[in-house]
């Protein structure tokens, strides 16, 4: 009876310890928010440090490229952290092992990042194909003695289907054919899309409107260059497909294996609950994570860097 009572109290004690830890963490966060208004310098330092560590600017670009404009960077980061904590708590309560709880939290956080990256690449590839087709369509319009404004109007009405909303919003934002208004609309669309191809297109249009540069030759060079870039990206994506699948399987399968073992032979997990077992398990997990990171680096696709330019200097 005593052994049964002790075994029944063990999950409750673990749960109480976990609740106490979460309560202390919540209290610390609340204290920081309460004290922050009284300490502006500390608040600014904390916000700046957190932004750098969490790569908020990069997250903003990723969300823009994934067309998730309704989701702010801080909300996305908060959502990832919340789901990671929930996954960690679930893993800890299910297996009773601190290491598994931590690994579950890290894996959930990482899988959400992989999901965002997959959507970003998919949306970016579709948008860039549409923009490339739009540039070719614009070249044909300009070749018939049309102007830049006529080209944008033709793209918004008769251009590639997926590119029409971009140019339709651009013209609606400008609300006029004046150069300054068009340049402002192009700049805002550039910030909204955060797309390297549209960055190049905006530079071509800006040079044309401000300095009178020839538009058709510049668009032809731009189309040829990006056509080759997209071709190389497709080939590289095909070569990376196997490694990316391996990375995803390495993230998910260990938890499936542990869950099946927990259901069929829970006695095999008992040694992992002892201090020496947790240490050995933690070392094994650490080496697995190192190998996983190497594979992830191998499968990580190169990203086209955005061009930063001073529009006023053009």
List, for residues 197-255, the tens digit of each pLDDT value: 999 999 999 888 888 778 888 899 999 999 998 888 888 777 776 767 777 777 777 77
| Exposure on the CB side of residue 266, measured as CA atoms within 13 A | 6
Angstrom CA distances, 291 to 62, 102, 248, 249, 287, stand at: 26, 18, 13, 13, 6
Closest CA to 67 of 33, 132, 116, 8: 116
User: Which pTM value belongs to this model?
Assistant: 0.74
Question: How far, in Å, CA of 178 to CA of 175, rounded?
Answer: 9
Number of domains in the chain: 1
* pLDDT tens-place string over residues 72-91: 999 999 999 999 999 988 88
- Residue 245 located in a structural domain: no
Other CB atoms closer than 10 Å to residue 293's CB: what's the count?
11
Contacts of 269 (CB under 8 A, 6+ apart): 95, 97, 258, 261, 262
Question: How far, in Å, CA of 132 to CA of 135, rounded?
Answer: 5
- Residue 223 located in a structural domain: yes
Question: How far, in Å, CA of 41 to CA of 39, rounded?
Answer: 6
Mean pLDDT over 270-277 rounds to 76
- Residue 139 located in a structural domain: yes
The DSSP secondary structure of 87-146, one letter per residue, reads HHHHHHHHH--HHHHHHHHHHHHHHHHHHHHHHHHHHHHHHHHHHHHHHHHHHHHHHTT-
Burial of 129 (0-12, 13-18, 19+ CB in 10 A): middle
- Residue 115 located in a structural domain: no
- Residue 180 located in a structural domain: yes
- Residue 31 located in a structural domain: no
Domain that holds residue 148: 127-232
Confidence at residue 130, expressed as pLDDT on a 0 to 100 scale:
93
Q: Residue 256: is its pLDDT beyond 60?
A: yes
- Residue 26 located in a structural domain: no
Among positive and negative, which fits the CA dihedral 250, 253, 259, 265? Answer: negative
- Residue 143 located in a structural domain: yes
Mean pLDDT over 178-186 rounds to 88
Is residue 143 within 8 A of residue 216, CB to CB? The reply is yes
Which pLDDT band holds residue 34 (cuts at 50, 70, 90)? low
The DSSP secondary structure of 152-164, one letter per residue, reads HHHHHHHS-TTTH
Q: Residue 291: is its pLDDT beyond 90?
A: no
């Amino acid at each position: 009876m005593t052994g049964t009572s002790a075994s029944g109290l063990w999950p409750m004690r673990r749960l109480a310890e976990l609740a106490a830890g979460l309560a202390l963490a919540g209290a610390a966060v609340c204290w920081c928010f309460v004290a922050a208004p009284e300490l502006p310098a500390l608040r600014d330092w904390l916000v700046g440090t957190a932004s750098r560590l969490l790569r908020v600017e990069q997250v903003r670009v990723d969300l823009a490229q994934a067309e998730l404009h309704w989701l702010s960077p801080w909300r996305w980061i908060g959502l990832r952290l919340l789901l990671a904590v929930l996954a960690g708590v679930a893993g800890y309560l299910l297996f009773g092992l601190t290491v598994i709880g931590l690994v579950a939290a890290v894996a959930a956080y990482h899988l959400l990042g992989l999901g965002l990256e997959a959507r970003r690449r998919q949306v970016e590839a579709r948008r860039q194909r549409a923009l490339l087709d739009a540039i070719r369509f614009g070249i044909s319009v300009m070749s018939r003695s049309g102007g830049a404004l006529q080209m944008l109007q033709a793209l918004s009405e008769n251009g590639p289907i997926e590119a029409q909303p971009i140019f339709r919003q651009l013209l609606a934002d400008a609300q006029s054919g004046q150069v300054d208004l068009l340049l402002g609309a192009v700049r805002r669309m550039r910030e909204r899309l955060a797309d390297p191809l549209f960055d190049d297109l905006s530079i071509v249009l800006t040079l044309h409107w401000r300095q009178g540069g020839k538009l058709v030759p510049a668009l032809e060079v731009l189309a040829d260059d990006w056509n080759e870039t997209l071709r190389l990206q497709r080939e590289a994506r095909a070569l990376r497909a196997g490694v990316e699948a391996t990375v995803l399987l390495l993230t998910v399968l260990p938890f499936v294996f542990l869950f099946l073992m927990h259901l069929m032979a829970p006695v095999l997990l008992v040694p992992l609950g002892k201090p020496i077992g947790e240490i050995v398990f933690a070392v094994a997990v650490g080496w697995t994570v190192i190998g996983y990171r190497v594979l992830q680096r191998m499968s990580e696709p190169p990203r086209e860097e955005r061009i930063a330019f001073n529009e006023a200097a053009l």
